[in-house]
Amino acid sequence: MSPVTRVLRSSLLTAVAVALAGGAAAKTITVDSDLDVDLTNGLCSLREAIVAANSDAVYNDCPAGAGPDRIVFAVPLPATILLNDHLPTITESLAIRGPGFDVFRLDGDHLYRPLDFEPAGGDGWLGVSDLTLVRGHSAPNGTSGGGAAVDGGTAVFERVHFLDNRAENVGGGLAVIGARVSIADCFFQDNVAEDPTGGGGLGTLGGPNTVEIVGSTFAGNRAEAADGNGGALRLSRVVATVVDSTFSGNEAGRSGGGVVVASSSSGDTELTLRHVTITGNTAATSLSIAGIGGGMSVSAVTGHVFSLSVENSVIAENVDLSAPFIDDLSCSSSLTGLAVRTPSFIGSNEGCETVFPAGAPNIHGDLVGTLATPFLPELGGLQNNGGPTPTHEPELAGPSPLIDAGSCPDAAADQRGHGEPSTGARLVDQPGVPDLPGSDGCDFGAVETGAVPLADPLIFTDGFEAGHTLAWSSEVEP
The DSSP call for residue 220 is S
pLDDT one-digit tens code per residue, 214-251: 999 999 999 998 888 999 999 988 999 999 999 999 99
pLDDT at 334 over 70: no
Residue 13 has pLDDT above 60, yes or no: no
Q: Which residues contact 449 (CB under 8 A, 6 or more apart)?
A: 393, 394, 396, 399, 400, 403, 428, 430, 443
Of residues 338 and 423, more confidence is placed in 423
Task: Residue 152: name the closest of 122, 127, 125 by CA.
Answer: 122
Quick one: which of 296, 403, 302 has its CA closest to 356?
296
CA dist., res. 471 & res. 157, Å (int): 11
Q: Which pLDDT belongs to residue 383?
A: 98
Inform me whether the pLDDT recorded for 336 exceeds 80. Answer: no
For residue 203, the cross-strand partners are 175, 234
Buried b or exposed e, range 390-428, using 16+ CB within 10 angstroms? bbbbbbeeebbbbbbbbbbeebbbbbbbbbbeeeebbbb
Higher-confidence position of 35 and 458: 35
Q: Is the pLDDT of residue 464 over 70?
A: no
Please tell me the predicted confidence (pLDDT) of residue 458: 45
For the stretch 101-112, pLDDT in tens is: 999 999 999 999
More confident residue, 290 or 210: 210
Enumerate the domain spans of the chain.
68-382+457-461
Tens-place pLDDT, residues 37-61? 999 999 999 999 999 999 999 999 9
- What do you get for the CA distance between the two ends of the chain, in Å? 28
pLDDT one-digit tens code per residue, 251-272 = 999 889 999 987 665 567 889 9
Least confident of 8-17, 99-108, 175-184, 207-216: 8-17
pLDDT tens, 124-175? 999 999 999 999 999 776 689 999 999 999 999 999 999 999 999 999 999 9
pLDDT category at 207 given cuts 50, 70, 90 is confident
418-419 and 452-453: which strand pairing? Answer: antiparallel
Q: Which residue has the higher pLDDT, 461 or 294?
A: 294
Note the pTM of the prediction, 2 decimals: 0.92
Spatial contact of 235 and 266, defined as CB atoms under 8 Å apart = no
- Neighbouring C-beta atoms of residue 462, cutoff 10 Å: 12
Residues in the chain: 478
Which long-range contacts link 471-475 to residues 24+ away (Cβ below 8 Å)? 471/95, 471/127, 471/129, 471/156, 475/25, 475/26
Whether pLDDT at 460 is above 90:
no
